[in-house]
Chain A
């Protein structure tokens, strides 16, 4: 009996905490997404009319959201930007992971620490640093003008380019680390076997290393794509004022328009996108792990 009580005493605090502050909020968001905005505190209409016991919610916010070009653009734009940024992260990150895994073991830890170090410094400040670099009178443009390479500054800040750059910059380590973790465990004997069988290095990379690293690639893509989808800081600081992404829509509805039911609806749609992404990546990994 005391054993059961002891177990419950360990189990209950984290369980109750996560149910109260993670699961319950999502249920509240879903409920409020069915409501309408009103002026008042709280700024949404009650869902149930207790005097007549009627349910007042409807899916009006959802039909509005999916039929409105402004919001639809925001969603599709976010998906496009997150997908392209993930791909660029892969193109830069994969060779980095490969390079780290192929140096002498004593040198790997310092290289990994160097990779993580930026991650431990403020994300906000690192994004802000790019403003100094990319601005029309910023460091890069000043250098180009002074060297006489350009007559006029290149417009880099507040464009799609700067948003891609900011997202790739912020999430690159999240692509490199999972890929490294997988490649590092590879049996180098497989590559020697491929070489013995006459495969050129590039060929054995394509048919041995790359296929074996797919679980790491999948994890890396997930860790970049999902936060990029809901990114707020990068488009806000580096994107133009009309640059739409879901995170920004949500922010505007919450803080400027104070339309909390609509913000809740945006959140639920984003949540569905995130869950769909996680589930499909999981599928890909599961499929590969099944024996052929």
Chain B
């Protein structure tokens, strides 16, 4: 792809990026709009940020969402690490295919299927064994762990299969039991994948509307559920302000992760490229 085609493809890509960013830019710009009418520019103002800070319902939902996301990301990383060890280190065993399929299936499962099936499971379990008692943050957390495990398993497995077993063998030769070799040798090397997996599950949980709507109870409306119910009633400048806050936070995190990735990719000059 040289010469004539190059500017064409470059322009095309530019168009693609513009398409991806235009709505976000508009949201951010209009969050500083004085006018209540979202589409008419009425001068610069930060009053919607003030109103956002005073909106109990959104703040409470945000706090609940952050807690659910943190707990479910942690759960997903723990289970995903165990699953990755099984898939990479245990060799072949009966049922490995089923295990692998169960772990990866949520990646290609529409949210509505996961949401409804968990709702029916929870209701059925409650009628059979009395647990879980109604739907709450707990059931949302369980649902988010189930989705998150698929992502963390993929990420941690990729890293673990790059590591090889030499270091574990060395630890074993020095007399360390397998768990100790894992904790002191493998785990630190897995850290970047664990962190990336945690962040991804955290974001997915924080962002999830559909699954949470099915499995949350009356007292456990997460942030997306509250945002959705207010967006359904029409556009609201407060939501623009909220969106801007989220975009800025995410951009900062991605920037930091990107910079650290760049540094670590520069450090070891491995072989000739």
* A residues with CB within 8 A of B: 3, 6-7, 10-11, 13-15, 17-19, 21-26, 28-29, 32, 41-42, 92-93, 95-96, 98-100, 102, 109-110, 113-118, 120-126, 128-133, 135, 137-139, 142, 169, 172-173, 176, 191, 201-202, 205, 209, 222-223, 226-227, 229-233, 236-237, 246-247, 250-251, 254, 260, 263-264, 267, 270-271, 274, 278
Contacts and interface: CB of A to CB of B under 8 A. Distances in A.
Contact of B39 (A118, A135, A173): A135
A176 to B, nearest CB: 8
Contacts of B178: 3, 6
A142 B224 CA distance: 29
Interface string B97-109: 0010011011011
A14 B149 contact: yes
Interface string B5-29: 1100110110111011111101100
B145 A17 contact: yes
A138 B39 contact: yes
Contacts of B214: 254
B149 A17 contact: yes
Given A123-B207, A237-B231, A263 B116 contact: yes
Nearest to B118: A25
Nearest to A105: B273
B239 interface: yes
A91 to B, nearest CB: 10
A85 to B, nearest CB: 14
B108 A274 contact: yes
Contacts of A142: 39-40
Interface of B: 1-6, 9-10, 12-13, 15-17, 19-24, 26-27, 30, 38-40, 78-80, 82-83, 85-86, 90, 99, 102-103, 105-106, 108-114, 116-121, 123-124, 127, 142-143, 145-146, 149, 153, 178-179, 203, 206-207, 209-210, 214, 224, 227-228, 231-232, 235, 239-240, 242-243, 246-247, 250-251, 253-254, 258, 261-262, 265
27 contacts: A6-B179, A14-B103, A14-B153, A15-B99, A18-B102, A22-B102, A98-B9, A117-B250, A118-B20, A121-B250, A122-B246, A123-B209, A125-B239, A125-B242, A128-B243, A131-B231, A137-B39, A169-B20, A191-B1, A205-B5, A226-B108, A233-B210, A246-B112, A247-B111, A250-B112, A250-B116, A263-B116
